[in-house]
Structure 1
């Protein structure tokens, strides 16, 4: 039984990663993206970082939690060379999203207004991304070495 069409595979015979996977990596590396944007805007870069991350500790935690997504971007090109590492990386990304959610819960507990929209919107996106990483049949197949190759 064929789960995917021939168009779902690239020229190497690997199952193509879905667009939502790339969006999840960008979501996880959002602090890095903001840091790059702030660096490009030299005059208002510090103000931009201060707007989104008034607490520097949260900024550094966001940078640290974005590292697995950056490594995941690099690993996409080495799926065939390092299949064991690639398979495990799905779980690393899931744990990172879970840590992001816990950080948001802790951060909202530190704020006086527990229903702060600016904190809960990224947490909602993290939760949806986590569920998608866990439940998507196509993404599971992309991380599974046996299902990833054309037969």
Structure 2
């Protein structure tokens, strides 16, 4: 793997650095958690914020689920060398979570949810995220067990 990447793609320990887009995808998967933190931080307007992004409360609770693997990936990414087999499997957990988000959005649209500009943008972002998680070679190498 050392011949595939630029030397600046490695940290001081010789491990492949985290791709920037990976952090963006974790934020995309954890977007409901972000809304929750935002609502909690603005105490008086918390219900209004949740109502704006999630008019139907059931969607809010389902939206928290894909953020769990993303949050855990964020937490263990700095210690991936301590749990190499767990880390190698975690990419598949993120792929499953992303596929679940995408399927959930399609079901909501099929059930008649309005296709707004935000919904369309999130749908496109989720399709791209799933494609990138599945196909990016550097990300696959980043999650490899041996670090080679």
Q: TM-score range by the shorter chain?
A: over 0.9
Which structure 2 residues correspond to residues 38-49 of structure 1 after superposition, within 5 A? 38-49=39-50
Segments of structure 1 that go 5 or more residues without pairing to the other structure are none
SS at 1:49 equivalent: helix
- CA-to-aligned-CA distance 1:106-149 (integer Å, 9 cap, x gap): 11122264x44332321210110111111111111101133x35
The answer as to 2:56 corresponding to 1:55 is: yes
Which structure 2 residues correspond to residues 46-85 of structure 1 after superposition, within 5 A? 46-85=47-86
* 2:125 aligned residue: 125
Q: Distance in 2 between matches of 1:57 and 1:118?
A: 19
- The root-mean-square deviation of aligned C-alpha atoms, in Å, is 1.5
User: 1:104, 1:120 within 8 Å by CA — same for their partners in 2?
Assistant: no
The number of equivalent residue pairs is: 147
SS at 2:66 equivalent: helix
- CA-to-aligned-CA distance 1:7-43 (integer Å, 9 cap, x gap): 1111222100011000100000000011111111112
Q: Distance in 1 between matches of 2:101 and 2:117?
A: 16
* 1:86 aligned residue: 87
Q: Distance in 2 between matches of 1:118 and 1:6?
A: 39
SS at 2:18 equivalent: coil
Q: Distance in 1 between matches of 2:97 and 2:136?
A: 18
Q: Distance in 1 between matches of 2:34 and 2:107?
A: 23
Segments of structure 2 that go 5 or more residues without pairing to the other structure are none
SS at 1:111 equivalent: coil
* 1:19 aligned residue: 20
86 and 112 in structure 1: CA distance in 2 versus 1, 3 angstrom threshold: closer
Quote the offset at 1:93 in angstroms: 0.4
